[in-house]
Amino acid sequence: MPAKITHYEIHDVRFPTSLSGDGTDAMNTECDYSSAYVSLFADNGLVGHGMTFTIGRGNEIVCQAMAELSKRLIGKDPESLFSSMGAAWDYMCADPQLRWIGPEKGVVHIAAGAVNNALWDMFARSRNKPLWKLVVDMTPEELVSATAFRYITDALTKEEALAMLKAKEATKAAREAHVREVGYPAYVTSAGWLGYSDEKVARLTKEAVAAGFNHFKMKVGADAASDLRRGQIIRSIIDDPQYLPPGSKGRDPNSPALLGKNAGPTGAVLMIDANQVWDVPQAIEYVKSLEPIKPWFIEEPTAPDDILGHAAVRKALKPYGIGVATGEHAHNRMVFKQLLQAEAIDVCQIDSCRLAGVSEVLSVLLMAAKFGIPVCPHAGGVGLCEYVIHLSLIDYIAVSGTMERNVLEFVDHLHEHFLYPCSINSNGRYNVPSNPAEGYSIEMHKNSIAEYEWPNGSYWISAKGGSK
């Protein structure tokens, strides 16, 4: 008898990060990092966990949408779904009445991301492999079958994707061995939140340099003079050799990996992120005013679905040596398709669960590789770092074949709540997830759920009593 998916569990988990200012930016001033968390169960003992990320209120709405999408998988044979994850993705997203309230955007789409990720987690666990290893071990044909292609074949056909993957197949093992040895390049955002004092920004920046990081990101957009001051504080530290780790001479700013990134004398790179706060003309003038701090790129300068707006900002800032990045709020593969077709971005920033799970992420990785745009995933929030190291490894080993110019965001928040937390080595790079039991690395400790589930977890009960 084939196995069947029998039931699901959903949890609304919220962490009180607004108390410390973590996550604050020009658009989002009070953030309680939250997880809409789902577990799928099969009658053969298989379990898969997935989540999507919000910043507090509204998490309960996402949880309701996740329940409706999870119902579509009840009674299905996991192995039948695993045999073509692209077809499984199409089926999961195809309920016409649920699709009507998307379609392929908003609450329904990010809920689909959580459920699809849970199915991928179950798939990886069934094969006793971390998610990235499951995918890179696929044949090119299997990987294409696992990918969502609807609406993007004018930019990338299945035949083109297959040819790209076959061209990289023979050298996958060498890249896997290399990244296991050195780790995957990371950048740090933890020092640059808008809610932090200058003293905290300086302290955290020094700590990040000492930890081996050489790419740093700060939030901008509330006040230009303050942004310039904070940026100069960060630059004064990351460009000063005295703060480098003992024995380090920094990195060559003229090396291929740093070329065009406005790297300083120690090889340090600064990026800035406006979180969509500006109109297009305002974005252009504001970022010009920050030219003295030499940013590599401005992230989310305007509305995330304004493809032509991003193209205009990129064209205007090009003479200043400042690029454009976006993607954490690009809600589907079609937006990325158009950003790439319109030459609107220098850096593609996928989000692991705003896109509707691994199957849709694969389509964006493949398109970015075709267009020659580096993928530097978004990973601020809860659980996102655990997720995206898998996606960057898939990109490097099986899809693009390069990590020379890529950097993956790292935020040092809330990793302790996961059974298989991500980690960073002494050179500021992600370690490769290697536990065969961890799947997609997103399983949360049961006691963390019990403490922070909204509204009746022990923390929130205590907070209601006045101790928050």
Q: Per-residue DSSP letters for 401-447?
A: ---SS--EEE--SSGGGBSS---B-TTSEEPPP--TT-TTS-PBPHH
- What span, in angstroms and rounded, lies between the C-alpha atoms of 18 and 229? 24
pLDDT of residue 467: 45
Half-sphere exposure in the Cβ direction for 117 (13 Å, CA)? 34
Q: Which long-range contacts (CB under 8 A, 24 or more apart) does 100-108 make?
A: 104/331, 104/332, 104/334, 104/356, 105/331, 105/332, 106/331, 107/58, 107/61, 107/62, 107/65, 108/65, 108/69
**Residue whose token pair is 């971390």:** 130
Q: ∠ CA 269-275-279 to the nearest 5 degrees?
A: 110
Q: Quick one: pLDDT at residue 192?
A: 80
Give the pLDDT confidence score for residue 29 in this predicted structure. 58
Of the candidates 64, 74, 55, the residue with the CA atom closest to the CA atom of residue 14: 55
Residue from 367, 363, 386, 349 nearest 104 by CA = 363
Give the integer Cα–Cα distance in Å for 22 and 31.
Answer: 7
CATH architecture assignment, domain 172-430:
Alpha-Beta Barrel (3.20)
- The CA dihedral of 358, 363, 364, 365, to the nearest 10 degrees, is 80
Gap between the Cα atoms of 219 and 29, Å rounded? 12
pLDDT digit string (tens) for the chain, length 468 residues: 899 999 999 999 999 988 865 555 555 556 899 999 999 999 999 999 999 999 999 999 999 999 999 999 999 999 999 999 999 999 999 999 999 999 999 999 999 999 999 999 999 999 999 999 999 999 999 999 999 999 999 999 999 999 999 999 999 999 999 999 999 999 998 888 888 899 999 999 999 999 999 999 999 999 999 999 999 999 999 999 999 999 999 999 999 999 999 999 999 999 999 999 999 999 999 999 999 999 999 999 999 999 999 999 999 999 999 999 999 999 999 999 999 999 999 999 999 999 999 999 999 999 999 999 999 999 988 999 999 999 999 999 999 999 999 999 998 889 999 999 999 999 999 999 999 999 999 999 999 999 999 999 999 999 876 444
314 touches 344 (CB < 8 A)? yes
Residue 213 and residue 251 in contact, taking contact as beta carbons nearer than 8 Å = no
Q: Which amino acid is at 83?
A: S
Q: How many CB atoms lie within 10 A of CB 82?
A: 18
CA-to-CA distance for 59 and 52, rounded, in angstroms? Answer: 9
Give me the sign of the Cα torsion angle 226, 231, 234, 237.
Answer: negative
pLDDT at 468: 43
Say how many C-beta atoms besides its own lie within 10 A of residue 155's C-beta. Answer: 19
Do 296 and 374 touch, CB atoms closer than 8 A? no
Tell me the three state secondary structure of residue 98. Answer: helix
| Active site (annotated) includes residue 415 | no
Alpha helices in 211-275 (DSSP H): 224-238
pLDDT at position 25: 54
Domain ranges in the chain? 172-430
Whether 468 is catalytic is no
Of 439, 459, 467, 445, nearest in space to 135 by CA: 439
Question: Given 109, 129, 219, 294, which residue is catalytic?
Answer: 219
188 to 194, 214, 240: CA distances (angstroms): 15, 8, 17
- Active site residue: 217, 378, 390, 417, which one? 378
DSSP secondary structure code for residue 245 in this structure = P
Q: Where are the alpha helices (DSSP H) in 83-149?
A: 85-92, 96-100, 106-126, 131-136, 140-145
What per-residue confidence (pLDDT) applies to 380? 80
Task: List, in order, residues 6 or more apart from 329 with CB less than 8 Å away.
Answer: 276, 300, 304, 351, 354
